[in-house]
């Protein structure tokens, strides 16, 4: 058979038409996502709409346990590997791995107007003006109370400005009346511990902005260890494991083993789903100390990562899900507090939330006004894990009797200084 070369202009045009599909832009975006409720599911729905509007672009949402985000993602990124986008909570700690998407968003002014209060949490330095992602929601640490147990014990719940001591006394009475293993529990987390510590007067930072362990933090450590020693706190949550690993208290709360837990707004969906009608539960304002009645603001962020090979597509996708209509949909379906200023001002309707969940969302939203400035400073500090992780490790050692509370404070200060030194090398 003889092969002939086509030289006729019409033939050249036909040949060109056959190669056009190869020139269509295509990209694959992988999102590493964990969910407290249905966050990744909602994102996947929105990703399908994005794909429809951007032919050739594929968004794959990889749902992973939260532990993977905390423990494995940092290792991957340090090795130069990882996804294109991730949902993270160590906002400042991972910032050196974030990709600036400023050039790929349609309207920077929109981002500044609606996410301006939290964009600095994602920037590697204070002088940086880049856009690296945005908060998927604003969260706040705070307590949940088993209202049914209080009613059965005929104990009145303390009011909005009640102190931690008043809540501990009240829950002791409830625990005794209902024969509970303990009165209350806090998530095993230095982040959760920070709110009460600030309320007890911990400044956490000195005048230069450097970390410091002070009398307020010491008071909180002594109180917390003491509550474990006298049986008010359920020992299994903090004393059930070693090191700095995380454990939440919600499982104990769902099983009605305690009357009160300190966790956060992100658990509303889980409580709504898992407790159902088993008992009545409520979110209550953060209890007070001498200095404040504060929780810690925070949340998870969608961030672009330097490991991406498609920064433009990543920027376009983040810009898409950051738009008010899409953000409002995500917030309403996931029962979260918006970190979007425009949406926060308009208010959010939560059609899938039970009356209990709606009330809890209202309590947390109202509590934002009571957050201490130190709490915002703490959340935005890129080395805040230098405080959080040693707190969990050393306070646990004091709880189980390996050292005194004062010794734990000394160890926390030393560990903290060493962690900051290592991080700034």
Say how far residue 290 (Cα) sits from the centre of its chain: 27
Q: Is the pLDDT of residue 4 over 50?
A: no
Q: Is the pLDDT of residue 14 over 80?
A: no
Q: Is the pLDDT of residue 234 over 70?
A: yes
Closest by CA position to 204, among listed 384, 414, 368:
384
Q: Is the pLDDT of residue 20 over 70?
A: no
Closest by CA position to 364, among listed 137, 92, 42:
137
Give me the mean pLDDT over the 366-372 stretch: 88
Tell me the helix, strand and coil percentages in the chain, rounded to 5: 50, 15, 35
pLDDT at 36: 86
pLDDT at 359: 94
Span 182-208, pLDDT tens digits: 999 999 999 999 999 999 999 999 999
Give me the mean pLDDT over the 227-252 stretch: 96
Q: Is the pLDDT of residue 111 over 80?
A: yes
Contacts of 58 (CB under 8 A, 6+ apart): 26, 27, 28, 29, 51
Q: Is the pLDDT of residue 11 over 70?
A: no
Alpha carbon of 248 to those of 8, 10, 238: distances in Å? 73, 70, 9
Contacts of 359 (CB under 8 A, 6+ apart): 282, 283
User: Please, what is the angle between helix 215-229 and helix 190-199, to 10°?
Assistant: 110
Q: Is the pLDDT of residue 98 over 60?
A: yes
The rounded distance, in Å, linking the Cα atoms of 81 and 424 is 22
Q: Is the pLDDT of residue 12 over 60?
A: no
Question: Which residue's entry shows tokens 């794909």?
Answer: 51
pLDDT at 21: 46
| Token pair in block for residue 149 | 């147990």
More confident residue, 126 or 277: 277
Strands 297-298 and 139-146, how do they pair?
antiparallel
pLDDT at 259: 98
Return the H-helix or E-strand segment holding 30: strand 27-33
| Token pair in block for residue 260 | 């009160």
DSSP secondary structure code for residue 205 in this structure: B
More confident residue, 58 or 4: 58
Q: Of the ranges 292-296, 347-351, 358-362, which one carries the lowest mean pLDDT score?
A: 347-351
Give me the mean pLDDT over the 144-148 stretch: 98
What length does the chain have? 425
pLDDT at 23: 46
The rounded distance, in Å, linking the Cα atoms of 193 and 364 is 17
For 11, other C-beta atoms within 10 Å of its C-beta total 11
Q: Enter the pTM of the model.
A: 0.78
Span 391-418, pLDDT tens digits: 999 999 999 999 999 999 999 999 999 9
Contacts of 198 (CB under 8 A, 6+ apart): 204, 216, 289, 291, 292, 294, 296, 372, 374, 375, 378
pLDDT at 117: 85
pLDDT at 25: 64
The rounded distance, in Å, linking the Cα atoms of 128 and 96 is 12
Give me the mean pLDDT over the 217-231 stretch: 98
Give me the mean pLDDT over the 315-331 stretch: 97
More confident residue, 422 or 322: 322
The rounded distance, in Å, linking the Cα atoms of 58 and 44 is 11
Strands 260-264 and 184-186, how do they pair?
parallel
Q: Is the pLDDT of residue 120 over 60?
A: yes
Give me the mean pLDDT over the 365-377 stretch: 89
């Amino acid at each position: 058979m003889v092969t002939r070369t086509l030289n006729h202009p019409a033939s050249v045009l036909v040949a060109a038409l056959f190669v056009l599909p190869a020139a269509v832009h295509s990209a694959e975006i992988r999102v590493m996502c964990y969910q407290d409720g249905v966050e990744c599911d909602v994102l996947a729905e929105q990703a399908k709409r994005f794909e429809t509007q951007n032919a050739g672009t594929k968004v794959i949402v990889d749902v992973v346990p939260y532990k993977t985000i905390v423990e494995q993602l940092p290792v991957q990124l340090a090795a130069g590997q990882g996804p294109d986008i991730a949902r993270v909570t160590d906002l400042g700690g991972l910032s050196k791995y974030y990709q600036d998407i400023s050039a790929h968003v349609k309207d920077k002014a929109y981002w500044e107007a609606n996410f301006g209060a939290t964009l600095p949490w994602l920037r590697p330095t204070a002088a940086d003006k880049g856009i690296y992602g945005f908060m998927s929601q604003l969260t706040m640490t705070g307590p949940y109370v088993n209202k049914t147990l209080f009613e059965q014990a005929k104990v009145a719940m303390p009011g909005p400005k009640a102190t931690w001591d008043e809540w501990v006394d009240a829950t002791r009475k409830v625990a005794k009346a209902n024969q509970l293993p303990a009165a209350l529990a806090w998530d095993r987390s230095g982040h959760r511990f920070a709110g009460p510590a600030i309320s007890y007067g911990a400044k956490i930072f000195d005048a230069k902005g450097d970390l410091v362990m002070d009398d307020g933090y010491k008071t909180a450590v002594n109180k917390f260890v003491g509550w474990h020693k006298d049986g008010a706190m359920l020992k299994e949550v903090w004393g059930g494991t070693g090191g700095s690993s995380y454990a939440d208290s919600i499982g104990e709360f769902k099983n009605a083993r305690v009357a009160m837990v300190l966790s956060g707004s992100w658990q509303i969906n889980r409580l709504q789903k898992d407790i159902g009608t088993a008992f009545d539960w409520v979110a209550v304002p953060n209890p007070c100390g001498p200095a404040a009645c504060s929780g810690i603001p925070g949340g998870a962020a969608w961030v672009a990562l330097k490991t991406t090979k498609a920064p433009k597509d990543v920027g376009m996708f983040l810009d898409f899900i950051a738009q008010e209509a899409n953000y409002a949909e995500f917030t309403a379906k996931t029962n979260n507090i918006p970190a979007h200023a425009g949406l926060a001002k308009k208010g959010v309707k939560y059609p899938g939330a039970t009356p209990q969940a709606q009330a809890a969302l209202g309590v947390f939203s109202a509590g934002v006004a009571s957050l201490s400035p130190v709490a915002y400073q703490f959340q935005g500090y890129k080395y805040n894990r230098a405080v959080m992780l040693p707190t969990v490790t050393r306070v646990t050692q004091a709880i189980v009797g390996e050292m005194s509370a004062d010794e734990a404070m000394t160890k926390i200060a030393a560990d903290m200084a060493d962690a900051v030194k290592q991080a700034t090398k």
